[in-house]
Structure 1
Amino acid sequence: MRRLALLVVLGLAVTLAACASDETSTPTTASTALPAGTTPGATGDVGSLGEVRPAVEPTGTVTHASLTMPDGAERTYRLYLPSTFDPEVPTPLLVALHGGLGWGDQFAETNHVEGLAEANGFVVVHPDGTRIRPRLPSGTWNGGYCCGPAAADQVDDVGFVAAVLDDVGQKVTIDPSRTYAMGHSNGGIMSYRLACELGDRIVGIGVVGASLGVDTCTPPAPVSLMHIHGLADVNHPIDGGPGEGVADVVFRPARDGVETMAAVDGCVASTTTTEGDRTTETWTGCDDDSAVAFVRIAGASHAWPGGTPGRSVSGPTYEGYDATAAIWAFLMAHPRR
């Protein structure tokens, strides 16, 4: 009962947001879009945000929608369209996956990605995991070996995300060369699974405090990866192990997933640089201009770096690095060629 009372796990700050409902929307006023021809993160430098604009007030439209899956399950997601959105123009899209016992609205409040989307003109989808109890918004993902009811019941979350992309595609002209996913903890583990099993549609992923959760990874094309992990993460230790969170999982080492993706992408060699608390290992010579980066942050806990601080089983929020902006800059620098 104590675990169910904790509406946090695997690095999610307690940020209470309204639960999703069917097809409700919040329209707001317009703001400035990214100029035509500008490529955010065009430098490809992991330590730089390139031309990514800082997050602003998200004045676009938020919509909550539901889908009925083949097994009869009702699944939900949150969609953010920036105020400059044009349904006829191919638009980059980011799928953002909450951590275990989180939910879409909560993760949107934590990661500030919708403000970044408003400033840079991309679409964000926050799907909701499988609920642990009907009356609670808290959910989990079947990332393979983790986590919770979704993994135990072998929920087809790859199929769910594919269905979300199909549904959003009825409203948005999605740019297939710039369709990405990012996730935190259990959501990061799920992002790895999407790279491996939905790599025909997911071009790149960014994860925080996660690991590869499946044993086979054979995407049909290279999938870029940015993996961020705090060295003080005791929920999902960077070297693997049971951790101190409530997941009751023996986690796999973070490096296993990074090196798997580097091999899958045909990368040749890696170089390591250090800047302050941050050590970045970057693989080069990858197929089709894909890339792999492993960012390790001394002193950072399991909480989303640069996210909204809050009381959490994850530890304090590391404020010296904006994981959301860094991931977006990296991903946009590596579209599918």
Structure 2
Amino acid sequence: MTATLVAASYFSVAECLATPRSNPLSAYAGCGKALPKGQSNGGVSNVTITSDGVERYYLVFVPPTYNPFIPTPLILSYHGGVRTALDQLQLDELTNPEFNTVSMVVYPQGIANSWQGVPGDTVNDVLFTTNILNELENLYCINPSRIAATGKSDGAGFCNVLACDPVLSKRMAAFAPVSGAYYIDTLPCYPSTVAIPCSAGRTDVPMLAFHGGNDTTIPYLGEERKNECLPTIPHFIQEWALRDGLGSSNVTTPLAVDTVTYTFGHGLETGLVGLVYESNIGHDWPSTVPNADNMVAGHHVANYNATPIILKFFESHPLSIFETLEELV
């Protein structure tokens, strides 16, 4: 086993280019290719793509340090309901060089500014995401062990849809939903005990959620909304801990004023699942500087920044070598 691990750790780019995948593309197929026409390091481009017979688009941020011969981490960031890909780019600060200079960030645009999983939405956004990933891996030098997803509100809820998908949960390394709307199609609604369907393809899915105690849009304690049920956030995150075999107990750690982190797992699994909770912020992307969320009347800046915590979480939780090899073969 040790010899196999060492050998797997030292794949050359040439070897990776020749490695087959279960999808029509090859792993690292984009390595060695020049950036698409009109794109440059540090820039953002609007890219159209056809998915399920419909022309759609996403924004792609190429990090300043991008090198076509070095596999690059990839983050997909999904906008909230009624907002756009550009809104999300301006909100999450993942393109801010203060926080990120190494990860490519992609902002998919939802049809009617919505996402699969929202009540009444019938678009196949899991397929859309799959199409985007296939295209990105063909165009750019993407590290298949470091593909992660975040999002806000409905976009955060869609992150959970991806994490529970039997295929993409194995292709994507980690998930960090912010102010998530985790709709469950069942009534009557019992937020603290409602069954949360999930068909994740593995039992070690890293999940770090963020939520405010004063969120009146997607309440921390759940509610019936849009004729479906929103679980309490503690119930939602505890279910992920149980799903990952971490048990129901957690460690509470102060993070900032009025802010704590609930961490599940022990030993090497410490922090595989967690929740960052600030008691007095609303339906916001937590930031210590003004943004489109916290400048709304009745809202205020947070006591911590979610973005660097998300980036650190993604960096700390790649797919394991064996999980990556399973997807590549």
Q: Considering the TM-score relative to the shorter chain, is it more than 0.5? A: yes
For 1:273, the aligned partner's letter is T
Question: Whose relative contact order is higher, 1 or 2, with alpha carbons under 8 Å and at least 6 apart?
Answer: 1
Specify whether residues 248 and 65 from structure 1 end up closer, same or farther in structure 2 by C-alpha distance, changes over 3 A only.
Answer: farther
Q: For residues 287-306 of structure 1, what are the structure 2 equivalents within 5 Å?
A: 291-306=272-287
Unaligned runs of 5+ in 1: 1-22, 29-59, 132-138
Question: Any idea what SS the aligned residue of 2:223 has?
Answer: coil
**Rg larger in structure:** 2
Q: Is 1:142 the equivalent of 2:121? A: no
Q: Distance in 1 between matches of 2:99 and 2:60?
A: 13
For 1:334, the aligned partner's letter is H
Specify whether residues 274 and 290 from structure 1 end up closer, same or farther in structure 2 by C-alpha distance, changes over 3 A only.
Answer: closer
Aligned to 1:210: 180
Question: How far has the Cα of 1:166 moved from its partner?
Answer: 0.8
Q: Distance in 1 between matches of 2:78 and 2:271?
A: 22
Q: Is 1:192 the equivalent of 2:175? A: no
Question: How far has the Cα of 1:225 moved from its partner?
Answer: 0.8
Q: Distance in 2 between matches of 1:320 and 1:117?
A: 18
- TM norm structure 2: 0.74
Match of 2:244 among 265, 277, 297: 265
For 1:254, the aligned partner's letter is I
Asked whether the equivalents of residues 91 and 173 of structure 1 are also in contact (C-alpha less than 8 Å), the reply is: yes
Per-residue CA deviation, residues 30-79 of structure 1 (Å, 9 max, x unaligned), is xxxxxxxxxxxxxxxxxxxxxxxxxxxxxx02111111122x22111000
Q: For residues 247-262 of structure 1, what are the structure 2 equivalents within 5 Å?
A: 250-262=229-241
The number of residue pairs the alignment matches comes to 267
Q: Distance in 2 between matches of 1:240 and 1:161?
A: 28
Identical-residue share of aligned pairs (%)? 27
Aligned to 2:219: 237
Specify whether residues 326 and 290 from structure 1 end up closer, same or farther in structure 2 by C-alpha distance, changes over 3 A only.
Answer: closer
- TM norm structure 1: 0.72
Aligned to 2:316: 333
Match of 1:158 among 108, 119, 126: 126
Specify whether residues 267 and 250 from structure 1 end up closer, same or farther in structure 2 by C-alpha distance, changes over 3 A only.
Answer: closer
Per-residue CA deviation, residues 154-194 of structure 1 (Å, 9 max, x unaligned), is 21111111111111111212212111000110000000111
Aligned to 1:19: none
Specify whether residues 263 and 336 from structure 1 end up closer, same or farther in structure 2 by C-alpha distance, changes over 3 A only.
Answer: same
Question: How far has the Cα of 1:310 moved from its partner?
Answer: 3.5
Specify whether residues 65 and 298 from structure 1 end up closer, same or farther in structure 2 by C-alpha distance, changes over 3 A only.
Answer: same
Specify whether residues 313 and 252 from structure 1 end up closer, same or farther in structure 2 by C-alpha distance, changes over 3 A only.
Answer: farther
Asked whether the equivalents of residues 78 and 126 of structure 1 are also in contact (C-alpha less than 8 Å), the reply is: yes
Question: How far has the Cα of 1:248 moved from its partner?
Answer: 7.7
Specify whether residues 75 and 290 from structure 1 end up closer, same or farther in structure 2 by C-alpha distance, changes over 3 A only.
Answer: farther
CA RMSD of aligned residues (A): 2.6
Identify, as 1 or 2, the structure richer in helix.
Answer: 2
Unaligned runs of 5+ in 2: 1-35, 185-195, 321-329
Question: How far has the Cα of 1:98 moved from its partner?
Answer: 0.5
Question: Any idea what SS the aligned residue of 1:158 has?
Answer: helix
Question: How far has the Cα of 1:252 moved from its partner?
Answer: 2.6
Question: How far has the Cα of 1:260 moved from its partner?
Answer: 2.0
Asked whether the equivalents of residues 65 and 77 of structure 1 are also in contact (C-alpha less than 8 Å), the reply is: yes
Question: How far has the Cα of 1:205 moved from its partner?
Answer: 0.6
For 1:106, the aligned partner's letter is D
